[in-house]
Amino acid sequence: MDKEIIFLVEEAPEGGYVARALGHSIFTESDTLDEIREEIKDAVRCHFDEGQRPSMVRLHFSKEEVVAI
């Protein structure tokens, strides 16, 4: 059992946010940051059995910016 699970959270091209777990087949999406946090917790609860769930979820936010030259 992993003590923690890491999610990569990115802004979706069509708006909102998408999150995917690194090393696990867990993916979720939502409209706001507050909602994506709740969706991630729900997804982790659904993916793991109670005794196998990680004790911590770490969110890594990635934001892409384009700079014109």
pLDDT tens-place string over residues 9-25:
999 989 999 999 999 99
- Across the chain, how many H-helices and E-strands are there? 1, 4
- 22/26 Cα distance (integer angstroms): 8
Taken in order of first residue, the domains within the chain and their CATH numbers are: 4-62 (3.30.2390)
Give residue 65's pLDDT: 81
Distance between CA atoms of 69 and 54, rounded to whole angstroms?
Answer: 44
Handedness of CA 14, 56, 1, 5 (dihedral sign): positive
Q: Once rounded to an integer, what is the mean pLDDT over residues 26-54?
A: 95
Structure tokens at 18: 């998408």
Q: How confident is the model at residue 1 (pLDDT cuts 50, 70, 90)?
A: low
Say yes or no to pLDDT of 63 above 80. Answer: yes
**Mean model confidence pLDDT for the chain:** 93
**What distance in Å separates the CA atoms of residue 19 and residue 26, rounded to the nearest whole number?**
8
pTM of the model: 0.86
